[in-house]
Amino acid sequence: MSIKRSMEKLSGLLLIILWLPIGNASANDPFSMLKDSSSLSPDRVLILVAEIENCSFCKRVKNNFLLPLTQDKKWEPMFQVRRIDLNSLALVTDFSADTTTQKNLAQALSADFSPTVLFLDPRSGERIGQDIIGLVTPDFYGFYLQQQIAQSYEQLTGL
């Protein structure tokens, strides 16, 4: 078999692999979707990750930055993480105890880019920190995330 023919077969196989579904992304996600805001811990900052399905940047933010902080004894008591899908029509109970869709909640929070990390008061849904939009500077992302968690926690608890 010629090298050209082998390369054609290999590139065809690669295309097939790229089109295969990756599986249920939410099954592998370390953080659950927001379903009912009344079930949140009132004394921990709500970090709400607004995302779209199969967002590679969202996955990096969650796995490389948020997940390690949830396993750190210093940071873990300060926050809780939930997700919403910018395009999802799945129902969620919002901060006013009204039922809406994840998509409508994202719009109400002016989250329209994936990923957007919001720092919210879990009782009211009010912003208590500055949003982190996108993953533009991975080298400084962890520092900025920790800074926002600390400032938001201080504002939430008065400590």
State pLDDT tens for residues 29-40. Answer: 889 999 999 999
The answer to the question of residue 9 being in a domain is no
| pLDDT of the residue at 4 | 54
| pLDDT of the residue at 136 | 81
The CATH number of the domain holding residue 115 is: 3.40.30.10
pLDDT digits (tens, 9 = 90+) for 102-156: 999 999 999 999 999 999 999 999 999 999 999 988 899 999 999 999 999 999 9
Among all chains, which residue has been given the structure tokens 């400084």? 140
The answer to the question of residue 16 being in a domain is no
The answer to the question of residue 35 being in a domain is yes
Bridge partners (DSSP) of residue 79 are 45
Query: What is the arithmetic mean of pLDDT over 44-56?
Result: 96
Which pLDDT band, with edges at 50, 70 and 90, does 15 fall under? very low
CA proximity to 118, closest of 35, 51, 26, 64: 51
145-150 CB contacts, 8 Å cutoff, 24+ apart = 145/65, 145/66, 145/69, 145/117, 146/69, 146/75, 148/117, 148/119, 149/45, 149/47, 149/69, 149/75, 149/78, 149/79, 149/119, 150/78
User: What range does the domain containing 31 cover?
Assistant: 24-157
The answer to the question of residue 10 being in a domain is no
Which pLDDT band, with edges at 50, 70 and 90, does 21 fall under? very low
**Count of structural domains within the chain:** 1
pLDDT digits (tens, 9 = 90+) for 60-114: 999 999 999 999 999 999 999 999 999 999 999 999 999 999 999 999 999 999 9
| pLDDT of the residue at 10 | 44
The answer to the question of residue 12 being in a domain is no
Query: Cβ(84)–Cβ(106) under 8 Å?
Result: yes
Look at residue 2 and tell me whether its pLDDT is greater than 80: no
